[in-house]
């Protein structure tokens, strides 16, 4: 247990873990900011807030917050539509909504979102992230629309073939990916320094040493990059802004709380309080919005690195924020040495990890309907936008669940003479009404029917109305009757028999 270690030993473990998390977070903070279309320094600001503010707050002990690859596409769209000032307002309000949801103790309900929708959302984000960063790998402009990122790939390939600088840029990016993959294959002790940082440093060194024609990051300075979001409240009357706020809130909250659940499985320490964690995430986002920085979520990559590095308490994540602050204050010029294709490679690798490739085969074998929800959600995100895609996925998941829970069985026993016995069991909802009516309408119209409904656990209004109509129609033939064994009322031990006759 984490609490069993002496304080000095826990602090030493947290100090060591914080350095590892800092090294993991540094290239991701910068790369996510650049991919989002904002100054690189704003990614560091979000990482600092995630460490120094959210890190101190109650909720989860070991998960680490900062800018997330899962929000990159959404942030880029928001910046393109509303500018940096508009992004600040959106992040601020989304953070306040998160705080309100946490105070109302609704944090746990985000766990009710079906995993297939979340995986589909992350898959859609991952594919858009990969497609968009392929252009950066080749030093080309990134198309704005999701579909444009894919339809423009043939033209990108042609540009790489005819352009020497594009080929050099692509070589730097691909080499960065190769280094990260190879580094991850090394034994655990050798991977103390994160592969992404090693790859970016190597790319920066090679680019500088050989004077390669590769774009690097433009550095403005942290204070110059920030645009505090004050005086932009009028934008909240825009439906597009409100939809973006709702999407930020949903995606950031779901990703953070799913990350918390995953991190809880990695250690034996205190479990996450989901309501308090939502308040912490909301507070961090509200502050990031005020500072004009990127939105944040809890990030599973940094969180798992924190746990694997031996962190014992929340001190590790606070210290990682302190190291980011010291880096931003003392050595911001080093950011300008990072080649853009190397950072794009880091995000391509991160986007690939968002794809549920390992989970799909097992999910297909046991729950094919969940795979359909996942694929439809991802496709809707690729072809429309994040908000619409998530809504489509949630709607399809609800319909799928309703269909699966409305199991009904209609059994017909006909001895050839005398009454026909018909038993309906299960849940009779409008979704199964065609099955019920097809069977009932296929019965002989001149025969008496014993209709046993005692096995029904639920009958909705549509089915009850349809059954009443069918009974009346069947009874309209002279000499024919329907004997109904009705469902038991609550507290009744015996079924009720009702004879329906003309």
Q: Is 227 helix (H, G, I), strand (E, B) or coil?
A: coil
Distance between CA atoms of residues 478 and 484, nearest Å = 18
CB 262 within 8 A of CB 110: no
DSSP code for 215: -
Q: Does residue 96 surpass a pLDDT of 70? A: yes
Helices 274-291, 72-103: axis angle to 10 degrees equals: 130
Cβ neighbours for 10, distance < 8 A, ≥ 6 positions apart: 2, 312, 313, 315
Residues 243, 336, single domain; the answer is yes
Q: State residue 3's pLDDT score.
A: 46
Residue 390 has pLDDT above 90, yes or no: no
Lowest pLDDT segment from 107-116, 267-276, 335-344, 407-416: 107-116
338 with 455, same domain? no
Residue 451, domain extent: 408-500
The pLDDT of residue 295: 94
Mean pLDDT of the chain: 84
Q: Is residue 230 within 8 Å of 73, Cβ to Cβ?
A: no
483 and 378 co-located in one domain: no
- 110: pLDDT strictly greater than 80: no
Q: Is 438 exposed, middle or buried (0-12, 13-18, 19+ CB in 10 A)?
A: exposed
pLDDT at residue 224 in the model: 66
Read out DSSP for 34-70? HHTTS-HHHHHHHHHHHHHTGGGSSS-SS-EEE--GG
Q: Tens digits of per-residue pLDDT, 426-482? A: 888 888 889 899 999 998 888 889 999 988 888 888 899 999 889 888 887 656 788
Show the tokens assigned to 5.
């270690």
294 and 392 in one domain?
yes
Q: What is the band of 111 on the pLDDT scale with cuts at 50, 70, 90?
A: low
Quick one: 412 and 360 in the same domain? no
Task: Sort strands 449-452 and 482-486 into parallel, antiparallel or unpaired.
Answer: parallel
Say what the pLDDT of residue 230 is.
63
CB atoms within 10 A of CB 469: 11
**DSSP summary character for residue 31:** H
Lowest mean pLDDT across 159-163, 429-433, 483-487? 483-487
Q: Tell me, what CATH number does 490's domain have?
A: 3.30.750.24
Strand partners, 411: 423
Residue 214 has pLDDT above 70, yes or no: yes
Task: Based on the fold, state whether residues 345 and 427 are members of the same structural domain.
Answer: no
Residue tagged 């940094």 (tokens)? 302
Position 316 pLDDT exceeds 80: yes
Look at 51 and 368; give whichever has higher pLDDT.
51
> Is 50 exceeded by the pLDDT of residue 294?
yes
Q: Is 162 left (phi over 0), alpha (psi -120 to 50) or beta?
A: alpha
pLDDT at residue 490 greater than cutoff 60: no
DSSP, collapsed to helix, strand or coil, labels residue 420 as strand
pLDDT tops 50 at residue 202: yes
Residue 449 belongs to what H/E stretch? strand 449-452
Tell me what pLDDT residue 502 has: 40
**Would you state the pLDDT for residue 351?**
83
Looking at the fold, whether 356 and 241 belong to one and the same domain comes out as yes
* Judgement on whether residues 443 and 394 belong to the same structural domain of the protein: no
> With contact defined as beta carbons under 8 Å apart, do 387 and 65 qualify?
no
Phi, psi of 410 (to 5 degrees): -115, 115
Last residue of one domain, picked from the residues 350, 385, 401: 401
pLDDT at position 8:
60
3-class state of residue 471 by DSSP: helix
Q: What share of the chain has pLDDT > 70, as a percent?
A: 90
pLDDT of residue 1: 41
The pTM is what? 0.72
pLDDT at 479: 65
- Give the pLDDT of residue 147: 83
Does one domain contain both 13 and 150?
A: yes
Residues 415 and 287 grouped into a single domain:
no
pLDDT at 112: 66
- Could you write out the three-class secondary structure of 93-120? HHHHHHHHHHHCCCHHHHHHCCHHHHHH
Find the mean pLDDT for residues 388-393. 84
CB atoms within 10 A of CB 418: 10
Domain boundary among 401, 429, 461: 401
Query: DSSP letters of 244-276?
Result: HHHHHHHHHHHHHHHHHHHHHTT-SSPPP-HHH
First to last CA, the chain: 74
Same domain flag for 426 and 371:
no
Domain count, the chain: 2
Do 89 and 179 share a domain, yes or no? yes
User: Has residue 208 got a pLDDT over 70?
Assistant: yes
pLDDT digits (tens, 9 = 90+) for 45-92: 999 999 999 999 988 888 999 998 778 888 988 898 888 888 999 999
Distance CA 389, CA 384 (A): 7
Question: Could you tell me which residues come within 8 angstroms of residue 115 by beta carbon, excluding any fewer than 6 positions away?
Answer: 258, 370
Domain end: 368, 401, 434, which one?
401
pLDDT of 493 higher than 60? no
Residue 255: count of CB within 10 angstroms of its CB: 24
CA trace torsion 424, 428, 431, 437 (10° rounding): 40
Q: In the chain, pLDDT over 90 holds for what percent of residues? A: 28
Q: pLDDT by residue (tens digit) across 217-271?
A: 877 777 766 777 665 666 777 888 898 899 899 888 888 887 787 788 777 778 8
Query: Which carries the bigger pLDDT value, residue 235 or residue 213?
Result: 213
Looking at residue 494, what is its pLDDT?
A: 44
């Amino acid at each position: 247990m984490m609490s069993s270690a002496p304080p000095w030993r826990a602090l030493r473990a947290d100090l060591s873990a914080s350095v590892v998390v800092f090294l993991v977070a540094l290239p991701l903070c910068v790369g996510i900011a650049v991919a989002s279309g904002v100054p690189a320094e704003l990614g560091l600001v979000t990482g600092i807030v995630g460490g120094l503010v959210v890190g101190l707050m109650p909720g989860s002990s070991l998960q680490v917050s900062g800018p997330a690859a899962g929000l990159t596409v959404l942030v880029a769209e928001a910046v393109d539509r509303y500018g940096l000032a508009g992004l600040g307002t959106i992040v601020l309000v989304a953070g306040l909504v998160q705080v309100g949801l946490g105070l109302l103790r609704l944090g746990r309900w985000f766990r009710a979102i079906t995993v297939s929708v979340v995986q589909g959302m992350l898959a859609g984000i991952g594919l858009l992230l990969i497609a968009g960063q392929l252009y950066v790998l080749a030093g080309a402009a990134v198309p704005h629309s999701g579909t444009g990122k894919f339809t423009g790939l043939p033209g990108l390939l042609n540009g790489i073939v005819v352009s020497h600088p594009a080929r050099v840029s692509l070589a730097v990016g691909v080499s960065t990916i190769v280094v990260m993959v190879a580094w991850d294959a090394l034994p655990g002790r050798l991977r103390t320094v994160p592969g992404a940082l090693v790859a970016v440093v190597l790319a920066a060194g090679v680019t500088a040493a050989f004077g390669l024609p590769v774009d690097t990051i433009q550095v403005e300075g942290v204070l110059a990059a920030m645009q505090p979001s004050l005086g932009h409240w009028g934008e909240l009357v825009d439906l597009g802004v409100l939809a973006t706020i709702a999407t930020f809130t949903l995606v950031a909250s779901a990703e953070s709380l799913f990350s918390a659940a995953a991190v809880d499985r990695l250690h034996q320490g205190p479990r996450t309080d989901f309501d308090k964690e939502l308040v912490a995430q909301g507070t961090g986002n509200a502050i990031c919005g005020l500072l004009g920085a990127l939105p944040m979520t809890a990030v599973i990559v940094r969180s798992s690195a924190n746990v694997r590095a031996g962190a014992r308490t929340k001190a590790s994540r606070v210290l990682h924020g302190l190291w980011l602050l010291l880096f931003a204050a003392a050595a911001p010029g080093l950011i300008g040495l990072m080649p853009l294709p190397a950072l794009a490679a880091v995000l391509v690798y991160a986007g690939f990890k968002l794809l549920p490739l390992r989970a799909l085969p097992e999910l297909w074998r046991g729950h094919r309907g969940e795979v359909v929800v996942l694929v439809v959600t991802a496709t809707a995100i690729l072809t429309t936008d994040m908000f619409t895609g998530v809504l489509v996925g949630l709607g399809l998941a609800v319909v799928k669940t309703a269909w699966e829970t409305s199991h009904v069985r209609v059994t017909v026993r006909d001895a050839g003479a005398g009454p026909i016995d018909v038993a309906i069991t299960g849940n009779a909802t409008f979704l199964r009404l065609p099955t019920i009516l097809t069977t009932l309408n296929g019965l002989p119209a001149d025969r008496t029917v014993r209709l046993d409904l005692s096995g029904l656990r639920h009958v909705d209004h549509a089915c009850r109305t349809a059954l009443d109509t069918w009974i009346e129609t069947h009874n309209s033939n002279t000499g024919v009757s329907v004997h109904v064994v009705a469902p038991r009322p609550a507290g009744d031990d015996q079924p009720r028999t009702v004879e329906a006759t003309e």
